[in-house]
Amino acid sequence: MYESELLPDSIAIGIDDEKFWTLTPRRLKIYFDGHHKKLLMDDVKSYHIGVYAYEAVSTALGNAFRKKTQKAYTYREKPILLELEEKEKANLPLTEDEKKRQTELLFAKLGMMQANFVRTHKENEDEAISVK
């Protein structure tokens, strides 16, 4: 089981064959958990890229189709998180739009935490069932 199931998974996350045989199961789990965290961070990064792309396209289309009497839309000057950090340090109140963005980011983080919790507890239930 150890070789047939875990070795291919280990190779897939970048642990070479030689290193694999020196790791204990507990240490191997640490590598798998670290890889999972990296995937989550990549997913959050992809989400943020999507938010920025959506905002850029919305700004461009909004300006292309706005009436001449309407004010031109502008794309943000700084990244969202940097803007929030600066305002937090300066103790400036957040605008409604910034509050909305901050809430969306919080819900995205909570959604990932929930998915991780469900996955972890499902694995624990599966292990408990297989032990019986």
Q: Express each pLDDT in 80-89 by its tens digit.
A: 888 878 877 8
DSSP codes joined into one string, 16-44 = -HHHHTT--HHHHHHHHHHHHHHHHHHHH
How many of the other CB atoms lie within 10 Å of CB of 86? 11
Residue whose tokens read 């340090």: 89
CA angle 24–26–31, rounded 5-degree value: 95
What is d(CA 92, CA 47) in angstroms, rounded to the nearest whole number?
27
Q: What is the mean pLDDT of residues 109-129?
A: 68
pLDDT tens figures, 1-51: 567 788 888 888 999 889 988 998 899 999 999 999 999 999 988 988 888
Cβ-contact 56, 125 below 8 angstroms: no
Residue 127 or 68, more confident: 68
Q: Which two structure tokens, joined as six digits, stand for 75?
A: 């794309």
